[in-house]
Amino acid sequence: MSMIKKIGVLTSGGDAPGMNAAIRAVVRAALRHNLEVVGIRKGYKGLIDGEFVPLASRNVSNIIQRGGTILGTARSPEFRTPEGRQKAYGNLVGASINAVIVIGGDGTFNGAGLFSSEFDIPFVGIPGTIDNDLYGTDYTIGYDTALNTVVEAVDRIRDTASAHDRMFFIEVMGRGAGFIALHSGIATGAEAILIPEVDGQEDSLHDYLKSQGNKSSNIILVAEGNSVGGAEQIAKQIQEKYPEYDVRANVLGHMQRGGSPSAFDRFLASRLGVAAVDALMDNQRSIMVGFVNHDIVHVPFNKTINASKNLNKILLDVADILAH
């Protein structure tokens, strides 16, 4: 039997639509197990500063549809230090918190794995990042909503691109992963997609532009971490090299993080929140609860942090076929 009586929950890293739904699920699943729940504000910074707030069922009512995170999130360089983690541990012990559920990405899990290897308080992670780049889960909370936000924005931009015969380079998030760019590019019928995982895309882009003839209305999706450059930089270079095109750049930026979570993200967050509490009650620690083939899986922190999640190469072929 688990000896856990009180758990903490925090959100860390970049916010993602569905984090509130996950918090709600954690609180209500914990209450079903007769556990006390404490919200830790501002991520690991709040863990060090002792920013704890009790959470009851009424505190998480009417938040499933809200974007962002009611607990807030912040960077914490101090948590990277042994002294910072020792202080955090002291605060947890002082508050009689026996376990912590963290909602975030690989940086969040890296900190959680390190902390739980040093101290006797188990941590369980819920994947929450719009990039969908965590190994061990098909989907992360926030990805589906961000994808739909991008699709809606690109559809609107295509209307004006067609009206003015313009070429738009549209930059989406994905510093180290092209999941948003690739999937939204296919969904919007983009003529080209630039992502970090593929080399030699600059030559392919020029080959494509040379082959277009009179077609000047184009949508090109650019993941921010691709090897060619940002949308504004690429647009400037293309305009200089191909003056016959009317080129524009659009950076969607942080609008991709906001908004009410999609039905799928609410469902995913709810399942993972319940699964995280169940994992703690089953004496699991230093794991992420993931979602693979519509089932819950447990993935060790060190595996989800160190292993790479690869793009489906078939989708690259699909995007290439449909772009011509």
Please state, in angstroms and rounded to a whole number, the distance separating the CA atoms of residues 193 and 221: 5
| 15, 106, 131, 144: the active-site residue | 131
**Phi then psi for 36, rounded to 5 degrees?**
-85, 150
Contact (CB, 8 A) for 50 and 91: yes
DSSP 59: G
Contact (CB, 8 A) for 125 and 289: yes
For residue 272, give the nearest of 291, 300, 294 by alpha carbon. 291
For residue 67, give the nearest of 289, 270, 271, 262 by alpha carbon. 262
* Consecutive H or E run containing 166: none
| 159 has catalytic annotation | no
Structure tokens of 75?
Answer: 């960077």
Please state, in angstroms and rounded to a whole number, the distance separating the CA atoms of residues 114 and 121: 11
Contact (CB, 8 A) for 266 and 63: no
* Consecutive H or E run containing 302: helix 301-306
* Residues that are catalytic: 131
